[in-house]
Chains A and B, each alone.
Chain A
Amino acid sequence: MNVLLRTSRYLKTTVFTLGISCSLFSAPALSAAPSPAPRPEPVQTVLIPGPLRSFERMAGISQKVAPADVLPFFARNVYMLGYHQSTPTEFLILVDRYLQQARELQVLAGSAGVIKVNGCDDAGTLIQILGYRLRPDCGKKNFSLETANPERAFLTIDSGFPLVDLEEALQNGTPFLYPYASTRVPALFYESDWAALRTGQRKVSADLVDVLIGDRFTARLYWAMAKEDTETRTALRRSPGLRALLPYAGVLDFYGSQICIRSGHVQLPGGTAAQASWRDLAGANPDVPGQFVPALLAKDSGWLAAYFDALSRISQVQQKPLTQSPRLKRLYEAFRQLDPETSATHGVFRKAPDLLVLFTRIQFEPDGQPRIPGDLATWKDVLHQKTDSKVIHEWGKRSSGWNTPEQMFEGMAGLARVETEAGPLQSFLLISEIDRKRQPGNRLTPATVRLLADRFPRYKSWYQIFTEFQSLDNTSITRFVSIAEAIDKIPNQNLRANTEGSFQATVGLWQILARQGQLPTDNLNPSWTKVLEPFATVSSPVQLFDATQSSLGGLLAAAGANPTDSQTQISQSQIIDLISGPRQDNPDSQRVRLEMAERIRAVLDDQRLASLDTVFALSDGLKDMAQSKAKGDRLLPLAEELREFDMPKPIFTNREKINWAPAIYVNHHAELQVRTDLTKILKGQATHEQLEAARGQLAPFLRDTLVGLNYAYYEPPGAQMLHHNPLFVRSHDFLGVSIMGSNPLWGSPVVVGAGSPAGGGAYLIGSLADLPFALATIEQDFIAPKNVQALIWKELTPVLIVSATTPRYWGVTPNELHAVNLYQRCGEELLTAAASNPELRTKVLEVLSDRIAPQRMEELEHALLRPQDVSNYLNHVMPAETFYLAAEVHTRFPDLAPSWGPASLQLEELRTRFPAEVTPDRIARDFGVPHPTLAQTNASDLLHVKPFPFFGSNSGRLFGESWESGNLYWARLADEMGYSPAALNSLAPNLTRRTIANIFATEFEDWPAVLRAMHETGDEFRQSKLTALATANPGVPASDQPLENTTTR
């Protein structure tokens, strides 16, 4: 079996969107007049044999794409999936075979384009082409179709031929009619353009589909050209021509979608001011696109194109300082120096994601120098540290001569070519974010920067907490590092693992409460200290237990949850009550909060974790016994309770587990708990030391319940592992002892154990940092896609889930919620008004050019030139774009009267009456999404960046983080349907889950498919089809729990 077969169905391609607004570069022109309509390109249609749906199934293309997108996606899949080295894959072989079968069936369908069978007598040919036969003979009792030729039968099934309809027609003696007409789909340029490029050895016809199948390089160029806007690709076809571009198809595919030609000029990052620099860099004149573009693509094996692409994707504000002379050229010089001969298109994914992050996030001081946290001397020291990387070592040597931040910035640009997650550039990006919004008195000191940079490889995953809570001062930060190091020095492995787990879990609870505003801002440092300090000197299990209890007590006290008179101990319900959200005033919010608490309890129950009440009561009782204040009898029920946890009924013997899952089967921690029996101590005459040791045995139970609280809080919607694998939390491997060679200490957790049935189930290795993403990564596989061939791609789905589960909405007012709705509607009103108002159109396009790529920008411009098209086009505009448009127009053009429609007027009224509740900044904080990769924080925000391209590895998350529309859209729905803001705590995750199930995409960057799935989900919700969600609002009756969720075939 060929894995690529299915892979083809699970990867995808989209033609439009990604890129940067061409208008961005031509902003001055926009202010005068709209861009001229693009020159019409030659348009031709080509014939696809058989029904389009069948072809799309075979070619791994979403059956929801527009006809114009079919061939670009096909070309993309041929290039991506059709060849292994130069050998056709199973995917391509099947497509080829299908086309042959489809042509045979077309002959059968005749000129009428209908396959018609009247009965057994004339079914033979059709059945033979389909690869089946009748068994027993046609007309005999209970006859049916069975496979005769498996190769053909596979194509029949895979392409979705209605075989059962044929079978039933024959059984019933009724005619079988099946329309089998070919379908015409638009093609780029002329078939002859592409046929002329053939380089493959296969002999193919001039038919475009055959040309694309036969030559993957042509296919890639086709795909790359399809991502250009019409005017640009028309110009490129004319000059330098497709043949000249063919050698650079890969560069054009990866880095070409931002190239924009308008009126015979290449639009440049930095505009006309940067023209001379770009001319020098490329060695060609941007005013001669036919020379400039090939030069750009060819220079340094594609690296100049990659540089051009990164700069093209950032905002105009950010572009301006970066493209100044001589900075533009100097930065590139640094960037290219590392082995310019290595191709920028080597491998499956784009290169240098950190260059785009660096350019997007770098800050500049008033004097124009890049802002550097700490000081230059500190960073020079950092670069001088020992490294295995020759490049980093080389930059370290060069840094000796640096005396300006600018030089260091250039060095960072040079390091963007190094593929690592823990180098000086990554350290610089994260520490810069920590320092980003700090007030002058609270900036990171050089000593703190040095400490953070020195310990970056080990503790980097935890630094994001300092980005999220910038009021944590230098002392708090350094104390974290020193205590973490102290924990790392605990010699006993079990104790160290339990200490790390307890420490991280308690810090995680602090983070939750701080994020929910339950820890006063001016008390963050003291509460942080109370949580951390008890763990500074742990050297025994009983010390660990006491430290954890003390830490937890300090946290609860800081959150205002003081024990009552009757309750002198920390209680589990108190903690659940706190983390489920701040106390609410109105009944609806209270109900939602209770629901959140109930969910947390359900996870703890299903994980069969010991209650904190039990653990603390046992500890107190043992203390009393040690002081001869009490006897053990009354503790026996509690000790029995502790023993209630039992392992799942085994299916495998221990020997089988060792043989069949040797690398994964490690459940020592859980097994130790099963063996823990305090009843013997309680029943006997135990010494003081024995009683203390018994208290120490409670430490692992305490750790697991605290870890479980963290897991439960970030439970993804529809989670299964949390409820059905009772070892999941207990199996968390903080030290990485279950996998040889892993070193996950303090790092983001990774999933191990998947696909190993004898291994006891998947679990996490690593720390609790980034836990929401790890849980989402695990639980995404339990979302059943609605569409066959739907892509549930791992790179996006977890990010979408995290974006919905991390934000909470307890502080949102009804006015704010309504404003979110109005902003989006106001944006739509602006677009509608712009269609008949040239002056407004110019402003609208200017604003959106910071968010929208050239190809979509061109489509938008066209739509705004035809008022009748605008309402249709609104469905293609993302909620984050309409929100941004409304907010930016108000900010940039305050003199414009907000009279675009009723929503604009209502929004203006809200602004006047409740100014503090409806500011874009506040809405961004409440309805944005976390950007842990792009902005190194889990705080919600709207960064208003253009959609990021897809990068491989961990950088793939950048792509998902640039999707900021989800929570805005759910808020709009909630407001429209009369839900309270608090209801979003439940609605947003569940609607996101449904959106994921609805996604029907073709390639990684298929944003339109995500938007389409979101709208479908919204429609289902409006029509009350999502019955399980209806309980989020008492006003909506919950109907019977459904069982059906049929798949679209």
Chain B
Amino acid sequence: MKRKYLLFLGLVSFPFYSGGFGAAQDDASRIRVNVVLVQLNVAVTDSKGNYISNLRPEDFAIVEDNIPERTAAFEEGNERRLVDIAPAGGVPRWQSALKIVDLPDTSTATDQTKPPTPITSGANVFILFDTSNYMYRGFVFAQDSISDFIRSLEGVGKVALYSYSRDLDRITALNPDRSQALHGVRSTVAGDDAALYNSLLMTVKDAAPLTGKKAIVVFSNGPDNASLVPPEDVAELAQSTGTIIYMISTQQAEAEPISTAVFERMSKATGGRAYFSRSWRDEKQAFASIRDDLAHLYTLSYYPQANPNRGWRKITVKLVGKDLQKYRIRTRDGYRLLHPTQAASTNLASSE
């Protein structure tokens, strides 16, 4: 079976399908596998939820489908520490560590001569605001809340502001200027059906090509009455692209069990969390939690060992050593190989 897979995830840029003629022109029997790092954002907390810092790369053990993996890059919060992985003889580890995924007929790999791209300092945060009819009553209060959240973001690289109802609106593009995002919040309009999962899918795709930590913060009370894609597919894509999803809701959302279930499970699967406050005016705790999360996440990267599995690959991260077993770990639990079309942004036009 001849297939082109992209083992995606993080640090190395990859070709989009729109530029993929070259691949098509290659001998069809060859498979081009773009080998990049798998990047994991890991929160380590004690039983009270306090973040545990100053852990070392060797404190973590990563296993993918029962195959032990070696950490290639390590970062705590926004402090990047590259693991010394150069083997004897001076060949950079990133070169020797690059493996062609063991698929039938595999013959080529991408550029193996370059080291992993440095992780960008500060996370990229996409805010996705539900402006559907379901938010009508609390619309202005939710705006206030999102504005507060944007103002509170520290240590975050860039912020984008999207909104959705039946369609997705990319209101302000990812950029470091908080004022633009604030203007964006106040320019939203309310109304129409709610297609949360459609819109979340497109947001994940916009985030996919980014390097470094990336998170989507959804402000929604649910429910969804117009999406075509199910939440399972969105969660898988977010996991496969290393995108963390945080859901911010009010207790109003808890009246609708489907949304509650999805919010909790999807955010957990991607390494994020779901918050249900009493009202939109009472989200301070959620904001602080997300801010702390982004500031304290460990980022571990590895080049996957040869793995014949072309389906879902399960990832397990554990702490090594008796003393660390009392801590809890939160990260995504796997990923799936993606075709370039699945990772390409849905955006057609350049910035205007």
Contact = CB atoms under 8 A, between A and B. Distances in A.
Interface of A: 1-3, 5-10, 57, 131, 142, 144, 146-147, 150, 153-154, 157-158, 160, 163-165, 167-168, 573, 591, 594-595, 597-599, 601-602, 605-606, 611, 613-614, 641, 644, 646, 648-652, 656, 660, 718, 720-721, 723-726, 751, 753-755, 757-762, 778, 781-786, 788-789, 792, 990, 993-994, 997, 1020, 1025-1029, 1031, 1038-1039, 1041-1047, 1049
B143 A1025 contact: no
Interface string B320-352: 000000000000001000011110111111111
Given A720-B229, A993-B348, A605 B189 contact: no
Contacts of B28: 573
B167 A781 contact: yes
Nearest to B351: A1044
Contacts of B350: 1025-1027, 1039, 1042, 1044
Given A7-B191, A1042-B351, 11 more contacts: A5-B190, A6-B192, A154-B139, A602-B341, A605-B4, A606-B339, A724-B237, A754-B226, A1027-B349, A1028-B349, A1042-B347
Nearest to A1021: B349
B228 A778 contact: yes
A993 B347 CA distance: 11
Interface string B117-148: 00000000000000011101101110110011
Given A613-B1, A651-B235, A785 B349 contact: no
A614 B237 CA distance: 27
B18 A644 contact: no
B136 A788 contact: no
B33 to A, nearest CB: 13
Interface string B151-169: 1000000001000011111
Nearest to A1049: B187
Closest 4 CB pairs of A and B: A6-B191, A1044-B351, A1044-B173, A1-B136
Nearest to B265: A651
Contacts of B132: 6
Contacts of B1: 611, 613-614, 641
B318 interface: no
A168 B261 contact: no
B3 to A, nearest CB: 5
B8 interface: no
A597 B4 CA distance: 13
A705 B197 CA distance: 27
Given A6-B190, A142-B151, A1025 B349 contact: yes
Contacts of B257: 660
B281 to A, nearest CB: 8
A660 B187 CA distance: 35
Contact of B261 (A648, A656, A724, A789): A656
B57 to A, nearest CB: 28
Q: Which of B134, B139, B229, B348 gathers the greatest number of chain A CB atoms within 10 Å?
A: B348
B81 interface: no
Interface residues of B, number: 97
23 contacts: A5-B190, A154-B139, A157-B140, A158-B190, A167-B182, A598-B23, A598-B24, A602-B340, A651-B261, A651-B266, A720-B198, A723-B341, A724-B233, A724-B234, A758-B258, A778-B228, A782-B168, A785-B167, A788-B188, A1026-B349, A1042-B351, A1045-B349, A1047-B171
A168 B179 contact: yes
A9 B189 contact: yes
A648 B232 contact: yes
B226 A648 contact: no
Nearest to A789: B189
Contact of A164 (B148, B186, B209): B186
Contacts, number: 278
B128 to A, nearest CB: 12
A1045 B345 CA distance: 11
Contacts of A778: 228
Contacts of B2: 573
B312 A754 contact: no
B170 A648 contact: no
Contacts of A725: 228-230, 233
Nearest to A167: B182
Nearest to B152: A142
A512 B296 CA distance: 56
B66 to A, nearest CB: 17
B179 A1045 contact: no
Contact of A720 (B4, B186, B201, B351): B201
Contacts of B173: 1043-1046
A158 B188 CA distance: 7
B228 A1045 contact: no
A168 B191 CA distance: 28
Nearest to B23: A598
B225 interface: yes
B266 A1026 contact: no
B19 interface: yes
Nearest to B225: A755
Contacts of B185: 164
A164 B224 contact: no
Contacts of A762: 228-229
Contacts of B17: 598-599, 602
Contacts of B56: none
A741 B18 CA distance: 43
A1043 B148 CA distance: 25
Contacts of A1031: 18-19, 21
Nearest to A783: B167
A7 B192 contact: yes
B285 to A, nearest CB: 18
Contacts of A153: 140
Given A164-B179, A1041-B16, A755 B349 contact: no
A1045 B133 contact: no
A755 B230 contact: no
Contact of A9 (B191, B201, B342, B348): B191
Contact of B233 (A144, A150, A761): A761
A147 B147 CA distance: 12
Given A1-B136, A761-B230, A1029-B348, A594 B21 contact: yes
B20 interface: yes
A605 B31 CA distance: 14
B226 A147 contact: no
B230 A759 contact: yes
B193 interface: yes
Contacts of A1046: 170-173, 351-352
Q: Looking at B16, B17, B18, B148, which has the most chain A CB atoms within 10 Å of its CB?
A: B18
Contact of B346 (A594, A599, A718, A785): A718
Contacts of B140: 131, 147, 150, 153-154, 157
Nearest to B334: A649
Contacts of B21: 591, 594-595, 598, 1031
B64 interface: no
B160 to A, nearest CB: 8
A706 to B, nearest CB: 17
B319 to A, nearest CB: 25
Contacts of B227: 754-755, 757
A152 to B, nearest CB: 9
Contact of A784 (B24, B170, B209, B236): B170
A1019 to B, nearest CB: 11
B209 A1041 contact: yes
Contact of B345 (A6, A142, A785, A1043): A1043
Given A150-B141, A720-B201, A761-B233, A784 B346 contact: yes
Contacts of B346: 718, 720, 782, 784
Given A783-B167, A1025-B349, A157 B151 contact: no
B90 interface: no
B310 interface: yes
Nearest to B210: A1043
A997 B224 CA distance: 23
B82 interface: no
